[in-house]
Amino acid sequence: MAWIAACLLALTVAILASYMQGASAGAIEDFEDATSSPCEEINLITCFLPFVAFAVSDEAKDYTPARAKGVITQPQLTRLCDLGNDTAICFRDYTKRCIGSEHPEVHLTAQGTIDFLQFCTKPDAHSKVQKLFSCAQTMEAIHNRCAKSSSSMLPTDVDPSSPTAMVKRPNALRDLCCHVKKYEGCYLPEVQTHCGAEGVTANQDFLQRIYTSYQCSKHFPNCPA
């Protein structure tokens, strides 16, 4: 959870930051048009704004390894789940409204994120995430190394000035799946040593949930070398 949330946050902030730089003047006009044209890109961006506001807030600092020290409280988890769910639903509604069925992967990604977050509603969600969180803290240096080495799977040809083009990008879902798979190959073999058998199970369950939510198994054969 810790690393995936950190990845998502970093990605969202990077996208938004470059978009804001490139289009801050236009954005205000777009905003005024938003109600009349619900498929304006600004409406897509608006879905992510609460997330970005959170990411740059003081509150978010409580989730960083330095402050959290491997502990995530139940209210903190609920906060992340709600924020993620609101964003995912907003994104799903935008894609349903504005992106055609000729882009099936966009719809799969949107629905997949909502499905993924359903784990939040399980009674043992907090104890499981706490296990992941403390294990990730113990392995922080390894996670940092693996994040670097698996980033080669992330696309380099994205154009942050056009969020809609980004979400319609071919192979976006394949790249996400392959990125996580490569990350798994890097860190999972180290989990037994640092977090024991329980840690291995918790991490495997978490990864499996990602793979199932995004139907990754059909993409794995096509991962770039």
Ligand X SMILES: *[C@@H]1O[C@H](CO)[C@@H](O)[C@H](O)[C@H]1NC(C)=O
Instruction: Report 58-97 residues binding ligand X (CB under 6 A).
Output: 81, 85, 89
Residue 88's contacts (CB-CB under 8 Å, 6 or more residues apart) are: 110, 113, 114, 117
Q: Locate 178 and state its tokens.
A: 């392959």
Complex with ligand X: residue 85 or 164, whichever CB lies closer: 85
Round to whole Å and give the CA distance between 124 and 80: 16
CB of 214 to ligand X, least distance (A): 16
Considering the complex, what minimum distance in angstroms separates the CB of residue 81 from ligand X? 5
Number of residues counted as binding ligand X (CB under 6 A): 7
Cβ of residue 110: shortest distance to ligand X, in angstroms?
A: 13
Task: Name the residue nearer to ligand X (CB basis): 120 or 166.
Answer: 120
The binding track of 108-127 with respect to ligand X, each residue x by CB under 6 A or -, is ---------xx-xx------
Contact 177, 220 (CB under 8 A): yes
| Residue 217 makes contact with ligand X by CB under 6 A | no
Tokens found for residue 23: 């289009």
d(CA 104, CA 167) in angstroms, rounded, equals 11
Alpha helices in 103-222 (DSSP H): 104-117, 125-138, 140-150, 163-168, 172-213
Q: Which residues bind ligand X (CB under 6 A)?
A: 81, 85, 89, 117-118, 120-121
